[in-house]
C-alpha cells in the first residue's frame, strides 16, 4: 500500500490534466448506502423494480415509498467526508481539473469542488411530471407520498433513472475530459453502470494513467486500470495528499 500511495502521488505530480470519476462508494463514509456490495441497496431491492423509469411511471407511489423517500432523507442529512474534501484539496493544489460523478448527493459541491459533472443528475431539485415546474429538494414535503406540485402533478427527482438518457451536455463534456486528461482517478465505483464506466476506457485508450481507489477489485481492475489502491477512499486520499504536499 505505501509504495502505491507514493506512486500515485508521483504520477499525480507529473500529470498535466487530472480528472476523477467517482461513484457511490465514496459517499458510504457519509452514511449513504451504495447500490452494489456490502450493505448496498440491492441487497434489499431489485434495481429494475425500483430504479427503472418504467417502474416509476407505472407506480410512482411505490417507487417513492421504497426508494426515493429514503434516498431524499439520507442525502439531505449527509455531509462530505475525507474523500470529497481530499478531491477539493487536490483541486486547490492545482492537481485536479474536473470531477465526473455518478453520485446524486451533491457532496462534491458542498465540499467546495468547483467543476463537477453530474452524470446521473441529482436529488437537489425535483420537477413536476405534468407542468415541469422545478422545486428545490427542501421545498418538497414527503409527508404525503408521492409528493405533488401546485398543479397536483407528481414530482420526481432530477436524477437519472435506469432506462433514461444521460443529460447530453454531461455526456459530451465527460467524453471530452476523458479524452484530454492524462491521469484519471477512479474512486468508489464498481464500473458496472454504462456509459459512465466507459470514461476510464476512453481515457486509457487515449494514453491516460488510470488509478483505482476501492476496497475491492472491479471490472476495470487489471485490465483498464494501471493499478488499484485497495482501501477506503477517504483514508487513501488523505495519505495521497500528505505525500503530494511533500513533493510539490
Ligand atoms: P456501486 O454501488 O455500483 O458500487 C460502489 C463501489 O464502491 C463498489 O465497487 C465498492 O467496493 C466501492 N466502495 C465501497 N465503500 C467504499 C469506500 N469507503 N471507498 C471507496 N470505494 C468504496 O456504485 P456506482 O458504481 O456509483 O453505481 C451505482 C449507481 O447508483 C450510480 O450510478 C449512482 O447514480 C447511484 N447511487 C448514487 C448514490 C449517491 O449519490 N451517493 C448512492 C447509491 C447509488
Ligand atoms: Zn405541476
* Whether residue 193 has its Cβ less than 6 Å from ligand 1: yes
Residue carrying the nine cell digits 465540499: 111
Question: Can you tell me the distance from the alpha carbon of 115 to that of 109, in angstroms, rounded to the nearest whole number?
Answer: 8
* Whether residue 185 has its Cβ less than 6 Å from ligand 1: no
List the residue whose alpha carbon is closest to atom 9 of ligand 1: 190
* Whether residue 84 has its Cβ less than 6 Å from ligand 1: no
Question: Can you tell me the distance from the alpha carbon of 225 to that of 175, in angstroms, rounded to the nearest whole number?
Answer: 17
Q: Which pLDDT score, from 0 to 100, does residue 220 have?
A: 97
Quick count: other Cβ atoms within 10 Å of Cβ 132?
10
* Whether residue 118 has its Cβ less than 6 Å from ligand 1: no
Q: Which of 23, 47, 174, 228 to mutate to test the pocket of ligand 1 (most atoms within 8 A of CB)?
A: 23
* Whether residue 36 has its Cβ less than 6 Å from ligand 1: yes
Question: Can you tell me the distance from the alpha carbon of 88 to that of 220, in angstroms, rounded to the nearest whole number?
Answer: 25
List the residue whose alpha carbon is closest to atom 10 of ligand 1: 25
Residue 160 gets the label, from left (phi > 0), alpha (psi -120 to 50) or beta, of: beta
Look up the pTM and report it: 0.95
Q: Which pLDDT score, from 0 to 100, does residue 233 have?
A: 98
Q: State in Å: Cα 43 to ligand 1 middle.
A: 13
Q: Which of 20, 27, 35, 43 to mutate to test the pocket of ligand 1 (most atoms within 8 A of CB)?
A: 35
**C-alpha dist (Å) from residue 67 to 27, 55, 150, 153, 157:** 17, 12, 23, 19, 11
Per-residue pLDDT of the chain (248 residues; tens, 9 = 90+): 789 999 999 999 999 999 999 999 999 999 998 887 777 878 888 878 889 999 999 999 999 999 999 999 999 999 999 999 999 999 999 999 999 999 999 999 999 999 999 999 999 999 999 999 999 999 999 999 999 999 999 999 999 999 999 999 999 999 999 999 999 999 999 999 999 999 999 999 999 999 999 999 999 999 999 999 999 999 999 999 999 999 98
Quick check: is 120 catalytic? Answer: yes
* Ligand nearest to the CA of residue 75, numbered in listed order: 1
Q: Which pLDDT score, from 0 to 100, does residue 33 have?
A: 87
Amino acid at each position: 500500500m505505501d509504495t502505491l500511495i507514493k506512486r500515485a502521488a508521483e504520477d499525480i505530480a507529473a500529470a498535466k490534466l487530472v480528472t476523477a470519476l467517482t461513484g457511490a462508494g465514496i459517499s458510504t463514509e457519509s452514511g449513504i448506502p451504495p447500490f452494489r456490495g456490502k450493505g448496498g441497496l440491492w441487497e434489499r431491492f431489485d434495481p429494475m423494480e425500483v430504479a427503472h423509469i418504467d417502474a416509476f411511471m407505472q407506480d410512482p407511489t411505490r417507487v417513492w415509498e421504497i426508494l426515493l423517500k429514503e434516498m431524499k432523507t439520507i442525502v439531505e442529512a449527509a455531509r462530505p467526508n475525507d474523500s470529497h474534501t481530499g478531491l477539493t484539496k487536490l483541486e486547490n493544489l492545482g492537481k485536479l481539473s474536473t470531477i465526473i460523478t455518478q453520485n446524486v448527493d451533491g457532496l462534491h459541491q458542498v465540499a467546495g469542488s468547483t467543476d463537477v459533472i453530474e452524470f446521473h443528475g441529482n436529488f437537489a431539485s425535483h420537477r413536476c411530471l405534468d407542468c415541469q415546474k422545478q422545486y428545490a429538494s427542501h421545498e418538497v414535503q414527503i409527508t404525503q407520498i408521492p409528493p405533488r406540485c401546485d398543479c397536483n402533478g407528481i414530482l420526481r427527482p432530477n436524477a437519472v433513472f435506469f432506462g433514461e438518457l444521460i443529460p447530453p451536455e454531461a455526456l459530451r463534456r465527460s467524453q471530452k475530459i476523458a479524452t484530454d486528461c492524462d491521469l484519471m482517478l477512479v474512486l468508489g465505483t464498481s464500473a458496472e453502470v454504462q456509459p459512465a464506466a466507459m470514461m476510464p476506457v476512453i481515457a486509457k485508450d487515449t494514453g491516460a494513467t488510470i488509478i483505482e481507489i476501492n476496497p475491492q477489485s472491479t471490472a476495470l481492475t487489471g485490465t483498464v486500470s494501471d493499478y488499484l489502491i485497495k482501501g477506503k477512499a477517504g483514508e487513501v486520499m488523505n495519505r495521497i495528499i500528505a505525500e503530494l504536499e511533500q513533493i510539490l
